Structure 1
């Protein structure tokens, strides 16, 4: 579901893009008739036809795209380096937009420095946002976060991790992006957030949290989920990156026939950044 490539053929009714054009595939294809789809939020469709999820995806030499509107021209962007934009790029871009302009002056706390965390950190520089404070248990990934532009990278296992985070932010914590989505990270975010703050949860690791209901109005906090992003947001992202360049996140390029090994490495936590499979 993270795919780029060159257009090699068009169906008889297809128009609006030329053969040979390098494009990123917007994989988030909805049913086209529900309320979400009519609002342009096909990623929230209840009966989706997602490429690479519900339909055959990019682990192949060719991929079928149902309409040219799901192909976004890359211009001069490297199609190999741009491949993660259709999911990890879009997912983090959409999540970052939910914080609004506050991130220009206020450091965001990012929980997790996997592929999404490093992507979010890199994108923040392209958006002219303040450098984030990243929280990550893995030493190598903390180092990668600093290289990607984080102002600090903190180990949540440290006994004084919460105070380290507050000190690194340097002002009340009003923005937390949870890219892990576990009981521990959600509870950490809730313990950090100050009055009027916002927590956006993207990660899907799993778990449960208990929140005293009065704390929500008394602290006036917002707890929000964010799932992928809309086709329009992907177009915005690609337009931004065609102007400012791709974020400098770690990429590990491998032949397509190494897909199984790449997935095994990912499952084992051995991947820093993203693996790119090349046919």
Structure 2
């Protein structure tokens, strides 16, 4: 929602985990011959199996979450039980669980890791030194919102696919939110403020992923703009509460994240957030 570009949602038979996630397009299998044409064919390793095509998922797996979210939106945000069922169903049925929901975050995982890596580096070595890594040291001393605009192509490279678009638009939404959080004019920040920035990003990324998967074009939103914004805010607040709890848990086990740990840390936050969303959704549905 927000500035995210809506589309009709993925086809129902799209695999739960897209085949391109986690792939390494630059590698090629070793032929085993090392350029020796006389190598014994019988001693050569068997050719690698052809990549398997992911099995088509249940074509109806988005429908329950979509219908529940439509009921929630149609109520103007008063039907919290339908919101709970929509979010819980998205995690458990549409995505296949918290771990697979995390894998579906795709480009938002990498962008989140790059953002958190930059924030951690700036906190440890200072903004100028961190910006030198991107040849942007001239931006040191500028408000953090301007710094983030300059970093956009480094944090979120590419926007040619829906997945990349989600990552970039979540980043843009985060920059917009900096003013509301009182962070836009800073030229440095505390560890707590650093976590707030990442929390905002992860919240927007999860919200955009859910809304694009469910298919915002087929979810009926209230015609009243103020009520529609209230519906969006309730969903965002619901997600942010889960992200905040997940980040707190992750920091308890890994208070100081190194650059080599940052992607696994981000994945742990996403997975924990989806697990918490499932539990919160079930609790809302039971009320």
Structure 1 or 2: larger helix share? 2
Do the two structures share a fold, i.e. TM-score over 0.5? no
- Between structure 1 and structure 2, the one with the greater Rg is 2
Q: Give the TM-score normalised by the residue count of structure 2.
A: 0.28
Which structure has more relative contact order (CA 8 Å, sep 6+)? It is 2
